[in-house]
Amino acid sequence: MSREYVLQPFRGEARLQIDYAAALNPQQLAAVTAPPGPTLVLAGAGAGKTRTLVYRVAWLIEHGVSPERLLLLTFTNKAAREMMRRVAELLGRDLGGLWGGTFHAIGHRILRRHAELLGYRRDFTILDREDARDLVNACLGEAQIDVKATRFPKADVLGDLFSLAVNTAQPLARVIERHYPYFAGLLEPIADLARRYTERKRATNVMDFDDLLALWLRLLQEHAPVRELYQRRFQHVLVDEYQDTNQLQSDLVDLLVAPHQNVMAVGDDAQSIYSWRGANFQNILRFPERHPGAAVYRIETNYRSTPEILHLANAAIAANVRQHKKELRAVRRSGTRPALVACGDAHVQAAFVAQRVLELREEGVALDGMAVLYRSHFHALELQLELTRRNIPFSITSGIRFFEQAHVKDVAAYLKLVCNPRDEMAFKRLAKLLPGVGPKAA
């Protein structure tokens, strides 16, 4: 007579090697030890958000969740590597099975496994911003559109327009209406170019960065076995910097956690700064609506700033019409009171900064002990001119990223063509290196 055996989960008390109560403050501890289910952690600036996520991963593993059942989505791959390194150090064990990285990195990894389902080969290559612009230019030539003669948007602008439409999950007509109204009369040819661009990518077996999200989402939506595979695999999904997710990313998270709802989103609606590329801070505001029954934890003890800086930040944030209420509290001792200076224009602002630099030098502060932060590099032009006029020596910390340097892109083009012989942009880049071959001939 046969007998059926059923493996029951072990219900004994977990033996913890980490003293969580000693390592965390009460608010961090509450978030780290939260029960399974949808969880929103509102962590203010300098409140130990990374520490909280690291200990949450360790807590889950110490309570029986296998590392391979965890998915950690971060804003940068460096952040994911650092978090996983710290978890491994805390637990004293290898975390080889844990998936961690940016949405794009995880999408890339999954698409490599299932590209054929979307009409791609697994050896597809990825276009960077410059490659994508060149491919859009090729589509413009194919459509016989003279950008200069017709005042048609250039390839860079078209690329930004296409990208915004993808990341906000909006039709081109809506994006043009809201963000590019001066191109309203060109909707039909722009839509035709978007179609050509998409077809050209598929024909040459290449994807751009937006495809890594859009095609990943499409894969999960259209192929139930694949969707169910990753829903079973990732029993807990943790998302860092949730306030900077876009529509595609929030939809991906919702799909992955649909059966079990074990998602922890960590972020701060007051720190959302990427709306210009499709990020939607409404995602963090609406998290409790998207995940009914979500527990909300606040981490408000700031370890980075002085009380004076936090007072200014709290006062500014209080004016936000829609927000998750929180009040940052400082651990550090009192310091210099920040000054808020209103300037009439960029020239007056540059003059004020230069004047203040000279005043601080007179007060004994060395020039190499000062720094000027600005939002974008184009804001620095007036300042550079003003510092030069006053003979104030300065250096600018910036530069081209490693993989955007010309010689590195040349080598990468060789490797891309070896992996994907249909990569048109890689072939053209290499062809232009040959004597006598220019852009038109390539």
Q: Is 383 helix (H, G, I), strand (E, B) or coil?
A: helix
Q: Which fold has domain 20-109+222-330?
A: Rossmann fold (3.40.50)
Q: Higher-confidence residue: 163 or 405?
A: 163
CA angle 220, 259, 63 (to 5 degrees): 115
pLDDT tens for each residue of 114-150 = 999 999 999 999 999 989 999 999 999 888 887 776 7
What gap in Å lies between CA 41 and CA 2, rounded to an integer?
A: 50
CA distance 384 to 381: 5
Helical H runs in 204-345? 209-222, 224-233, 247-257, 282-285, 287-290, 307-317
Alpha carbon separation from 410 to 73, 114, 165 (Å, rounded): 31, 29, 30
What are the sequence ranges of the domains in the chain?
20-109+222-330, 125-204, 346-389
Beta-strand relationship, 295-299 and 39-43: parallel
Q: What is the pLDDT of residues 238-290, one digit of tens each?
A: 999 999 999 999 999 999 999 999 999 999 887 777 776 777 888 999 999 99
**Structure confidence at residue 271 (pLDDT):** 77
User: How many CA atoms does the CB half-sphere of 110 hold within 13 Å?
Assistant: 31
Q: Which residues does 148 contact at the CB level (< 8 Å), separation at least 6?
A: none
Model pLDDT for residues 158-174, shown as the tens digit of each residue: 999 999 999 999 999 99
More confident residue, 112 or 376: 112
- Tell me the three state secondary structure of residue 403: helix
Q: Which residue has the tokens 């999408």?
A: 107
Output the pLDDT for position 228: 97
Predicted TM-score (pTM) of the model is 0.81
> Residue 125 contacts by C-beta under 8 Å, 6 or more apart in sequence?
205, 206, 207, 416, 419, 420, 423, 426
Residue 378 has pLDDT above 70, yes or no: yes
Query: How far is 106 from 73, CA to CA, in rounded Å?
Result: 8
